[in-house]
Structure 1
Amino acid sequence: MLLRLLYNFAMYLFTPLVMLRLMARGMRYGDYHVRWRERFGRFREPRLAGCLWVHAVSVGEVNAAEPLVKALMEAYPQAPMLVTTVTPTGSERVRQLFGDSVHSVYLPYDLPFAVKRFLRSTRPRLAVIVETEIWPNLYFACRRHGIPLLIANARLSERSLRGYARMSSLVKRALRCVSHIAAQSRTDAARYRLLGAEPSQLTVCGNLKFDMPVPQAALEAGTAMREAWGTGRPVWIAASTHEGEEMCVLEAHLDVMRRLPDALLLIAPRHPERFKAVEASVRSLGFQVATRSGDGVPSHTTQCFVIDSMGELLRFFASADVAFVGGSLVSIGGHNVLEPAALGKPVLVGPYTFNFEEITQALLDEEGGQRVNDGDELGEQVLSLLRDPARRRHMGEAARHVFDSERGSVGKVMKLVDSLLQE
């Protein structure tokens, strides 16, 4: 009880600081300035009683949740569907994927009064938390209101485990409020046990992202773009890049262009507020630059194309020969390698892939991916692959095989959902 009181005191203490941070981010990304009331549980969403509620913190989690949300809507068409997020980009991705077929609001801060207000307004029949979001007050309130709580696609990195371990007794109590945990892997399940989950709460269901659809429209758009800039050009993509690794990517592209002068780099920064900064960096190195917002698609003379838009990576992956997945040359922990794998693209990653360690390792083991240690190695591997169609084809086929062999997670999670709703 004392630890929970201290936790609530800290939440109230830090909330003004969090609000200041939102204001600061809003200076660069305006959507952080709107819908603040939702972060305290205030919103107007009609007819939500008895809804099925899925929480996905941001873009990556929303993409992972897509096949599950669609399966829930198909299996329970009479139930309203609510999807909560934390970031404006996540909220926008919900709108892109589902339009008006789901209700979408921000998840409130984990303050007792905000959580109470949120649950009173929504009265969900089921709560599904995607990946790793352990909020004690929210979990306690779900148990108090008799709301079954499922953690789906549950993953827990070594770093997250160490972070939660600092308040292990409170986290353990919160996890006892969870009806079931559908872990991505045996490693994730073992880490949840270390946090205090009971074996009876855990099932290894695999990764929902393996069940994501590959839209035909994205493939067709990728083919059309490739025709626009020249089908014979060597093209590679650096996706979801972060500060500290874009310069490595750009220097790697300079190395590639010394051997392949007509090579094209597609670069997609992870965060929208950094689009302009990345574009400025590209221009400062003297590249012929085009952007998604300003030019639409690259031209025959474009050397570097900045993808300053959200939710379009699939079509650009489809148009490229080689994919580098960012957040892995710096200690972010890497991002989703499954999208290029699903499209049969050879995947390059840096040394830091702990966010997706088992998936990445499967790609490396099956020769669908290649690890590079720094920007110099990145340039070498990109050049090698662009000059070797047979190797690209072999790695792409291996990557697609890994993706196909792991599908089926949605069906396993839906069995758990059906069981919880029947109870």
Structure 2
Amino acid sequence: MPTPFPPKEPGERLVRWLYSLALYLLSPFTLYHLISRGFRVREYFRRWDERYGAYSTEQGRPCVWLHAVSVGEVNAAAPLVNALLRQGKGTRWVVTTITPTGSQRVRALWGGRVDHVYLPYDLPGSVDRFLQHFRPTLALIMETELWPNMLFGCRDHGIPVYVLNARLSARSLRGYRLLRPLLGRALRTVRCVAAQSDADARRFQVLGARPDQVRVLGNLKYDVEVPDGLEALRAAFEDALGRKRPVWIAASTHEGEEEDVLALHRRLRARWPDLLLLWAPRHPERFGRVRAAAEAAGWQVGTRSAGGWPAAGDDVFVVDTLGELMAFYACADVAFVGSLQPVGGHNLLEPAAVGTAVVTGPHLHNFAEISRRLDEAGALRVGRDLQEVGDALEALLGDAPLRQAMVEAGRALVDQGRGALRNTLELIAPDLPAPDPVED
């Protein structure tokens, strides 16, 4: 028997009305946001209709809907979606994102196997049009995407909602304090909050979730899938170099970190003159900028999109493609994962899973539990500033046994952490649609 939906709480109508009124008053700024972002990323000038819940496609049959805000959340959701696609043949899937890079990653992973649109702004009319057009029978929300009108709308349309791989940092909880009366009511409409850790679970309860709603299932990022053909790609990479060279990778770097990466490479090249830097900026709009910065520094620069593999004489190789980061982690001796800027850090488990020693900076609040566990296991070096990051990189490049010990510790931790995928599949199973009996 389906779990009944919670009734509307006292005061809900008023807080929803005030929130929605504020959104409508601020809605002109959404156009400003799209235009300003569009000057940096041209894709923001496209598909505005989806941002406001208007769709040119036919309505289609009901679906399972998963929302993942951007690339990191899409990657975290990938093992889950892959498993559900295998076991739920015939089910229609709609995956939404907010960013163009997230959209590109959805297309790269699943192509036409899922439908993709941008999630509309949390305006009541846009939300209602989205839900009526796609008619989801189940909503799966990744990590921390708490949009009150969307959550209330799902409840009003009879759509069960699960917040999966849920995380909530102490900083985010403080930022939500003014909206707590609204968000608490919205959270209490969902079927379950599947938290990554005990600390995340406690913070969701402080925000307003009931204790019986919250379960700790672990982190889906530990169930990362190692890319197929990894050894063949690494062999092709080494063949292209033509000789054994030390290699480090700077991954998921942001604006403001480029000068830091250049400084680190200059420092490390003083000791290893043939050292190769693989450089994978976080956002595609920065690909050309980091290439230009490296060339301005006097280095020979190759790119994945132009040459495929680094040439023997390249000093820097820019990984200017999407979806290949884990493969290039595997080609490096040491990985620096961008965190010198206060953006919260990035996924440290991907380099650990493919066997690369990991160095990061101090800004890790979005990955506090993962970084703590890696550090305690001896699988991570954390530098408090640029100097300490450089010290860690230099120590690891110069000590192969130390690197190997970190690699083994990292892989062991990833293996020990697996299990969230199984737990999540068991959790949502009662609300999944039955597979189409006509399809194989």
Alignment pair present for 1:20 and 2:32: yes
The answer for the alignment partner of 1:348 in structure 2 is: 359
* Shift in alpha-carbon separation, 1:335–1:231, aligned structure 2, 3 A: farther
User: Contact conserved, 2:196 with 2:217, CA < 8 A, in 1?
Assistant: yes
User: Contact conserved, 2:59 with 2:133, CA < 8 A, in 1?
Assistant: no
Inter-partner Cα distance in structure 2 for 1:82 and 1:280: 38
Q: Which runs of 5+ in 1 are unaligned?
A: none
CA-to-partner distance for each residue in 1:94-136, whole Å, 9 max, x for gaps?
0100011111111111010111001001111100000100101
The answer for the alignment partner of 1:189 in structure 2 is: 201
Inter-partner Cα distance in structure 2 for 1:329 and 1:103: 36
Greater displacement, 200-209 / 284-293 = 284-293
**TM-score of the superposed pair, with normalisation by structure 1:** 0.96
Inter-partner Cα distance in structure 2 for 1:11 and 1:223: 53
- 415, 432, 439: which one pairs with 1:404? 415
Matched residue type, 1:290: G
Which SS does the other structure have where 1:156 is aligned? coil
Inter-partner Cα distance in structure 2 for 1:354 and 1:146: 35
The answer for the alignment partner of 2:131 in structure 1 is: 119
Which SS does the other structure have where 1:290 is aligned? strand
User: Contact conserved, 1:351 with 1:372, CA < 8 A, in 2?
Assistant: yes
User: Contact conserved, 2:195 with 2:217, CA < 8 A, in 1?
Assistant: yes
Greater displacement, 206-215 / 61-70 = 206-215
The answer for the alignment partner of 1:238 in structure 2 is: 250
- 45, 63, 68: which one pairs with 1:33? 45
Inter-partner Cα distance in structure 2 for 1:414 and 1:282: 45
Following superposition, the deviation at residue 256 of structure 1 comes to: 0.7
Moved over 6 A (4+): none
Q: What is the aligned-residue RMSD (CA, Å)?
A: 1.6
Alignment pair present for 1:199 and 2:211: yes
- 320, 327, 332: which one pairs with 2:343? 332
Following superposition, the deviation at residue 276 of structure 1 comes to: 2.1
The answer for the alignment partner of 1:292 in structure 2 is: 304
- 375, 380, 383: which one pairs with 2:386? 375
Alignment pair present for 1:223 and 2:222: no
**TM-score of the superposed pair, with normalisation by structure 2:** 0.93
Q: Aligned runs of 1:102-181 on 2, under 5 Å? A: 102-181=114-193
Inter-partner Cα distance in structure 1 for 2:162 and 2:422: 15
Q: Aligned runs of 1:20-99 on 2, under 5 Å? A: 20-46=32-58, 48-99=60-111
Which SS does the other structure have where 1:167 is aligned? helix
Matched residue type, 2:350: E
Matched residue type, 2:25: L
User: Contact conserved, 1:125 with 1:148, CA < 8 A, in 2?
Assistant: yes
Greater displacement, 80-89 / 376-385 = 376-385
Following superposition, the deviation at residue 219 of structure 1 comes to: 3.8
Matched residue type, 1:399: G
Matched residue type, 1:99: G
Alignment pair present for 1:280 and 2:292: yes
Q: How many residues matched? A: 422
- 405, 408, 430: which one pairs with 1:419? 430
Greater displacement, 358-367 / 66-75 = 66-75
User: Contact conserved, 1:56 with 1:130, CA < 8 A, in 2?
Assistant: yes
Following superposition, the deviation at residue 380 of structure 1 comes to: 2.1
User: Contact conserved, 1:47 with 1:80, CA < 8 A, in 2?
Assistant: no
Inter-partner Cα distance in structure 1 for 2:77 and 2:231: 21
Inter-partner Cα distance in structure 2 for 1:202 and 1:322: 38
User: Contact conserved, 2:94 with 2:115, CA < 8 A, in 1?
Assistant: yes
Inter-partner Cα distance in structure 1 for 2:248 and 2:164: 33
Q: Kindly, what percent of the aligned residue pairs are identical? A: 50
Following superposition, the deviation at residue 312 of structure 1 comes to: 1.3
User: Contact conserved, 1:45 with 1:103, CA < 8 A, in 2?
Assistant: no
Q: Which runs of 5+ in 2 are unaligned?
A: 1-12, 435-440
The answer for the alignment partner of 1:267 in structure 2 is: 279
CA-to-partner distance for each residue in 1:264-322, whole Å, 9 max, x for gaps?
11111111122222222222222222222333221111111122222210111111110
- 22, 29, 44: which one pairs with 1:10? 22
Following superposition, the deviation at residue 231 of structure 1 comes to: 5.0
* Shift in alpha-carbon separation, 1:12–1:222, aligned structure 2, 3 A: farther
